[in-house]
Amino acid sequence: MDKTKTSIQPVEWRDGRLCLLDQRRLPAETVWLTFDDANTVAHAIHDMVVRGAPAIGITAAYAVVLAARHAWNIAGVNWKQAMTAPIARLEASRPTAVNLKWALDKMSDLYLALPDEQAPEQQLLELAVQIHQSDIEANHQMGRLGAELIETGSQVMTHCNAGALATGGFGTALGVIRQGVAEGRIEHVHVNETRPWLQGARLTAWELLNEDIACSLNADVAAASLMASGRISWIIVGADRIAANGDVANKIGTYGLAILAKYHRIGFMVVAPTSTIDWQLSDGDLIPIEQRSPAEVTQLAEKQIAPEGIDAVNPAFDITPASLIDVIVTEAGVVRQPTVETMKALQNGRNM
């Protein structure tokens, strides 16, 4: 199989409706859910039917199309007023992933500029498709840029799922890994299980096995031991939001991996499109961290594994300071040793 391609696309527009691959059911079942209402899409985002910042943004863009269709049908020339509530529900569905707001802002800018007397669906759909396709193209560019940094024959470690399932297709961190495998730079991938949702065990392992990429699964608590073995050259992860100074919000556990990588002198690479950078936030302390249900920690596959009545802390993300990151790979370029100055150079289109 050509490792620079993937047939996995978790978000599709079919026959005027939005279809999402239910990632809660993988790897045991491949189930597609179909949506024709923006409010149910907001629930699907919150419930992690779809997850991964780029995929969430793409999903939200298509949800705006559904919202506009409904608004036109119920309100006619007053359709713009009917858009306010569904947009707000979508924006509140996953507060950490900045791609969600980025996509909603782009869609909102368009619909607000359309004439009141014009049905908005087709033009909004064209923009949603453009956002989707641009994400896939950006993933391939990031894959090429990131792979160039990896020496031939390397072993790498990844956390959570930053693959085709988390994007429009191909992946951010897994895009680099796919490209690196195709070029002979990566010979083995160590996959962290990623508690409590097990996105690494359920999703990343599934993607890699489907494409015959050599990999092994490890418990999160084994990461330090594996790094100490001297076999791992890079930790490669995605991001849900990046602050203007290069601080990164990613799946809980990323911060600990970055500390371990620094101690073991292993490269730490963050891969994310520029739409993930929140230029309005000066540093990671300002990034909102989603707090999820304690049941995700106390239960496994809806089976209670902890004593009844125990409380649990369940932040979905943590913040990795820029000082622990070696490179941030975007489709616009690679930022080495991210700082306010090097990030600003990326924003201004200068060489980093």
| pLDDT 10s digits, 180-201 | 999 999 999 999 999 999 999 9
**Per-residue model confidence (pLDDT) at position 301:** 84
List, in order, residues 6 or more apart from 284 with CB less than 8 Å away. Answer: 243, 245, 247, 248, 249, 319, 320, 321
- What SS3 class is residue 124? helix
Q: Mean per-residue pLDDT for 146-165? A: 98
Q: Mean per-residue pLDDT for 154-162? A: 98
How many CB atoms are closer than 10 A to CB 212?
Answer: 10
- pLDDT tens for 270-304 read 999 999 999 999 999 999 999 999 999 999 988 99
Checking if the pLDDT of 316 tops 70, the result is yes
List, in order, residues 6 or more apart from 179 with CB less than 8 Å away. Answer: 3, 4, 140, 143, 144, 146, 147
DSSP letter (8 states) at residue 98: H
User: Of all helices (H) and strands (E), which one includes residue 311?
Assistant: none
Checking if the pLDDT of 351 tops 70, the result is no
Beta strand residue intervals within 91-171, DSSP E: 154-158
Checking if the pLDDT of 1 tops 70, the result is no
Residues 119 and 98: their CA atoms lie apart, in Å, by: 29
CB–CB of 192/179 below 8 Å? no
Residues 299 and 301: their CA atoms lie apart, in Å, by: 7
CB–CB of 313/250 below 8 Å? no
Options 36, 105, 212, 240, the catalytic residue: 240
Query: What's this model's pTM, rounded to 2 decimal places?
Result: 0.92
Answer yes or no: 240 catalytic: yes
